[in-house]
Structure 1
Amino acid sequence: MRQSSSKLNLIYLYRLPVIGLCLLIFWQSSNPSIISTSLFSHDDKVLHFGVWALLAFLIARDLIAEKPFWPLTKIKIITIVFACLFGLSDEIHQAFVPSRSASAGDFLADCAGSIFGCLFYLDVFIRKNRRPNNKSL
């Protein structure tokens, strides 16, 4: 019974934030844009980059928690591919929403943010903790 409790904790702490952010992105993409005037040139690309960086960060965090013995390369590939495919599905979804449009630039910003978020999490939070204490480095 303790193992199932541990599994539920993993789901609550790690997987639900990923699902929640995906649902928030889908909901926001189903509605007209929140910001009606541009704050600066290409502000939407910066927002896409940031949101998908957060999504990839959360996906990598979930995979590390649930599959701690997977190689980091496998986690990187799964994280980046999933986040980029979710970005592609978001752009396809927006193509069918009135007052929205699909954009290759937004998709590229999604992919760039996905790569950044994944590498940031794995390099800053994971590799630092996995390195042996070696003072000569």
Structure 2
Amino acid sequence: MGALFYLSHQPTLPTPSLFSGQDKLFHAIVYGILGFLLLGSRTPSVQGYTRAQLRGSILVASLYGVSDEIHQYFVPGRSSDVWDWVADTIGAVIAVSLLWWLSRKRVPATAQ
């Protein structure tokens, strides 16, 4: 989270323009990693991750995305965008869902 804060505090980030909307993809990837790490830091139960762990990881990543957009509003050369937050949340949902799905594959059939 500290790295995200540092990057969002930079006036401009030099990124080559590869395609339209690439910033949203970058947001989704970065916040997907955050969601993945947040959930990965939790210990799954015998039956896998609980709904509270899944929702909590997505919620924390999403709320951090909101705070990041508010923070960027005050950084010269940066702007806040609700669609960046949407991309942040979508990235977290996808990553947390992927980790949940992978954890379910590892749970023995007798434990389910």
Q: Same fold (TM over 0.5)?
A: yes
- Check if 1:110 corresponds to 2:88: yes
Between the aligned partners of 2:79 and 2:24, the Cα distance in structure 1 is 14
- Check if 1:51 corresponds to 2:21: no
For 1:103, the aligned partner's letter is D
2:105 counterpart residue number: 128
Which one scores higher on RCO, CA 8 angstroms, separation ≥ 6? 2
Between the aligned partners of 1:48 and 1:56, the Cα distance in structure 2 is 12
Between the aligned partners of 1:33 and 1:68, the Cα distance in structure 2 is 43
Q: Please, what is the CA RMSD of the aligned residues?
A: 1.8
Q: Within 5 A, what are the aligned runs for 1:1-137? A: 22-64=1-43, 68=45, 72-124=50-102, 126-132=103-109
Task: Give secondary structure in 1 for the equivalent of 2:80.
Answer: coil
Distance 1:113 1:100, change over 3 A: same
1:33-84 Cα deviation digits (max 9, x unpaired)? 32355221001000000000000000000012xx646852111110010000
For 1:63, the aligned partner's letter is R
Higher helix share: 1
CA shift, 1:131, in A, is 3.7
Task: Give secondary structure in 2 for the equivalent of 1:40.
Answer: coil
TM-score normalised by length of structure 2:
0.89
Between the aligned partners of 2:79 and 2:21, the Cα distance in structure 1 is 15
Percent identity, aligned pairs only, is: 32
Aligned residues: 109
Q: Tell me, which stretches of 5 or more residues in structure 2 are unaligned?
A: none
CA shift, 1:121, in A, is 0.9
1:11 counterpart residue number: none
Between the aligned partners of 1:113 and 1:91, the Cα distance in structure 2 is 15
Q: Tell me, which stretches of 5 or more residues in structure 1 are unaligned?
A: 1-21
Task: Give secondary structure in 2 for the equivalent of 1:63.
Answer: coil
1:10 counterpart residue number: none
Between the aligned partners of 2:85 and 2:49, the Cα distance in structure 1 is 27
1:16 counterpart residue number: none
